[in-house]
A and B are shown apart, each in its own frame.
Chain A
Amino acid sequence: MATVPGEFRFGNFLASIIWIILIVIVLVTLVILPVIFIVLFYLPLPPVNGEILTPYLFLSEVVDPTRTLPIIKFLIHTTPFKVIVFPGFVFAAIIAAATIFVERKFLAKMQLRVGPLYAGVWGVGEGILQLAADGLKVISKEILIPSGADRPIFWAAPIAFVATAAAVTALIPVAPGWVVSNTNVGLIAVFAILGFFPLIALLFSWASNSKYPFIGGLRALHQMIAFEIPFILSALSVVILAGSLNLTEIALAQHHIWFILFLPISAFVFFISSLAELERVPFDLPEAESEIVAGWLTETSGMIYGLIQLGSYLKVYALAALFVILFLGGWSGPLLFPPQLGPPSINTAPTIEKMLTLQGFYNHLTVNATFWFLLKTVVIIMLMILPRGINPRIRIDILLHTGWYKLIVLAFVNMFVALALVYAGVLGPGGSLSVH
């Protein structure tokens, strides 16, 4: 409801418009242009299709469309882009944000209600901006640090939480070439990083210096340690079949037959222990509301809470993607996308049409791989959201009992099946069914 300001005069209105135009001119000339020049003149620019990219060439190419595409293609393949945008943080953050929104709507529909509705009312859809609203509010809230709290750890732990979650996403290959770090020991690196989480939970709860977080932190520690071993054992049987630790090779090994057909039990064990790692509902003990007031998150307020929530949903994406790579064959799937977007035209098509069909830029294999990878990850994420609607929280000793006794045994069972397959020569290195 716009209220008419008291003493409004037309002159003020005009003055404010001129004032704004002035600010824009000043900003552009004094800030933006110098930055561009510095980037162009000081940073060594890479050669693009044969010629050294001089600043002037770059500026002229910005105008000529046929040249912009190769530059973009070049920029995309550099590592900073991979780390920040595609298979790295922003991609995972977008999926994490989508997971939060979908979870609230999905849960609401399961509970016969509507879920966030009015947040994005400008015709954008029925609640799509709810996440933006939560984010903005959480950013703008005051951060309360309890009096006896250990200040440095209190600040470091949430940042470390998000960092480790992002680190896990960095190791996950989304498409054949698209992985941040294609190390040969990819799987072990993932488990090493996942080992950080209980440490961070305990450090943070210890630093917040109050009773309920302390209990929550201990529970987080017990829970994650108890479920680390079946987690690794179930992945071990995949390594036996795939014959290598490198995640890309594991995904490639399942080109014909996904490992879930051979290792259903260890897939189940992997899924259950990833639920426990993520503290999802059946294993929601570290932040059990009705027992220990939001567990180790009790003292988090404002942005610290925001960071931890972002980190935990990044972890949801990371572990879902890990499940997809280990058991559902990563990005293997029927080819759905045409080799070129446009008609099979000759090279001399006008530049605009070439640009529209993303001539030098569109690679149908990558797009197809990413599509299938995303499809499977979304399915797994929905599976991870489902138990929150139908299951209660279990008690800490039942949790530890299932972790130590039941899941480890199950993980072993499937390992024998894997070994039998390898010795029978069906799969594994040199096996009849295996890829190479």
Chain B
Amino acid sequence: MADLEERINESQKLGMQIIKESDDDRLMTLSVGPQHPGSGHFRFVVKVDGDYIVHCDPDPGYVHRGEEKMTEYRNFIQNIPHLERPVIHDSTNITYSYSLAVEELTGIEVPRRGQFIRAIASEINREIYTLYWLAIYGIFLGHSTMFMWPTGDRELFIDLLEALSGARVTHAFNIPGGVRNDIPNGFKDRCLRQIGYFEKRLKEYEDIFYNNPLVRQRTEGVGILTKEDAIRLGVTGSVLRASGVPYDIRKAEPYDVYNEIDFKVQYMKTADSFARAYVPFLDMRESCHILRQLLDKMPESGEVRAKLQSNPRGPPGEAYRRVESGRGALGYYIISDGSPKPYRVKISVGSFRNMLALPHLLVGAKMGDMPVIYWALNYWPVEADR
């Protein structure tokens, strides 16, 4: 050791600066950046020691388009098209709570048939979102067939909503005051036929993906988010329900017609990545069941949209309404100052809240678990950045 000290001071005399090997040299910093196939529009910096992740720091914002600022320059109806852009494949749900909040502010009352059609559209949209999420989860695990099958079945649901609203994904169907137009005739049995076919396909997903021993091996016991941690971190949606907390906004705070539907909140207690992957699957099966009830409880005729004055406005006030979207509780806090334009709109989305669980779970996980944990958090970067 003596000569080491000697060499160090001698080299310092020459002006060289020797740094003792600190922890940082052993770690390799990897940027799982916006272009990395393992992380869509999102970047997180990961410090890796060998195969173990030691530190993770999420860096969102690559798709931050200032939605909240733009809402202040448009009146209530004009906000619908650009408020659904953060999750275009779950567009009915993300505008659902906005419409509810605006209705509470401006005192509009939605006719009963409109409420039913709104619920049907939001359930179909939930299926579309979850199937897209499941497809990406498959490709993240390297299971290319699991990308193709859900994407294929999702097209059939997209046809249903296309018949309803005219657009493939960006429907702008769910507006304050009800629904844009009535359902086309023949929609009901077409929907029932599609649900019947889909439930058979769900069985096949289970065989090729969920009961596949390699998938089980890769996801079970990975990224344990205990119940206390889930509550402390305030995660929501399937991530929360996978940790054993049966909390679903449709049951906790039933909006529109959900108090007339009896369905069971799907949740699991194993709190690992497999549970977080399986709960959306159970949700899909449950929402088929809900869709059936909605379809036969829907009143045959009646208005679908409340009469609105040209620029709906209400007394100044504020409203906070929430809806169970594909990624959990999606709340809108709208403050209105009496003018037709909202004074302030705060969008509280599920992905932004689940992002907090990412560094918590990734620290200590292995490099191979990174995509498994990241995408099991049901995280859609475009929505988190708003």
Contacts and interface: CB of A to CB of B under 8 A. Distances in A.
B214 A391 contact: yes
Given A112-B152, A211-B30, A394-B218, A291 B370 contact: yes
B307 interface: no
Nearest to A222: B51
B217 interface: yes
A289 B38 contact: yes
B382 interface: no
Given A113-B148, A284-B142, A290 B217 contact: no
Contact of A398 (B28, B36, B217): B217
Interface in B339-386: 366-371
Interface string A256-290: 00000000000000000000000001101100111
A183 to B, nearest CB: 39
Interface string B28-61: 1010000011100000000010010000000000
B143 interface: yes
A53 B48 CA distance: 70
Nearest to A396: B368
A293 interface: yes
A293 B37 contact: yes
Nearest to A214: B28
Nearest to A387: B214
A390 interface: yes
B311 interface: no
B49 to A, nearest CB: 12
B208 interface: yes
Nearest to B30: A211
Contact of B28 (A211, A289, A388, A393): A211
A112 B30 CA distance: 36
B46 to A, nearest CB: 11
A398 B218 CA distance: 8
A291 B212 contact: no
Nearest to A391: B214
B116 interface: no
B144 A288 contact: no
B144 A388 contact: yes
Interface in A162-219: 211-212, 215
Contacts of B370: 291
A392 B38 contact: no
Of the four ranges (under 10, 10 to 19, 20 to 34, 35 or more), the interface on chain B belongs to 20 to 34
Nearest to A395: B368
B26 to A, nearest CB: 14
Contacts of A393: 141-143, 218, 368
A107 interface: yes
Contacts of A229: none
A284 B143 CA distance: 11
Interface string B188-228: 00000000000000000000100010110110000000000
Contacts of B140: 290
Nearest to B368: A395
B304 interface: no
A111 B149 contact: yes
A389 interface: yes
A113 B151 CA distance: 11
A434 to B, nearest CB: 39
B139 interface: yes
A286 to B, nearest CB: 12
B145 A288 contact: no
A110 interface: yes
Given A110-B145, A398-B217, A391 B212 contact: yes
Contacts of A289: 37-38, 142
A241 to B, nearest CB: 32
Contacts of B48: 215
A314 to B, nearest CB: 23
Interface string A52-83: 00000000000000000000000000000000
A397 interface: yes
Interface in A340-377: none
Contacts of B371: 290-291
Given A212-B30, A284-B142, A392 B214 contact: yes
Contacts of B141: 290, 392-393
A84 interface: no
Contacts of B212: 390-392
A281 B214 CA distance: 11
Given A112-B149, A113-B148, A391-B143, A288 B214 contact: no
Interface in B141-192: 141-149, 152
Interface string A102-124: 00000100111100000000000
Given A288-B368, A290-B37, A291-B371, A395 B218 contact: yes
Contact of A111 (B51, B144, B369): B144
Nearest to B149: A112
Contacts of A215: 48, 367
Given A110-B145, A293-B37, A397 B366 contact: yes
A290 B142 contact: yes
B129 to A, nearest CB: 20
A233 to B, nearest CB: 24
A396 B145 contact: no
B142 A111 contact: no
A396 B140 CA distance: 15
B241 to A, nearest CB: 24
B242 to A, nearest CB: 19
A281 B218 CA distance: 14
B214 A394 contact: yes
A292 interface: yes
A113 B152 CA distance: 9
Interface of B: 28, 30, 36-38, 48, 51, 138-149, 152, 208, 212, 214-215, 217-218, 366-371
5 contacts: A112-B152, A289-B142, A290-B139, A388-B144, A395-B217
The 10 closest A-B CB pairs, nearest first, are: A393-B142, A111-B148, A395-B368, A392-B141, A392-B143, A290-B38, A290-B371, A290-B140, A289-B37, A392-B142
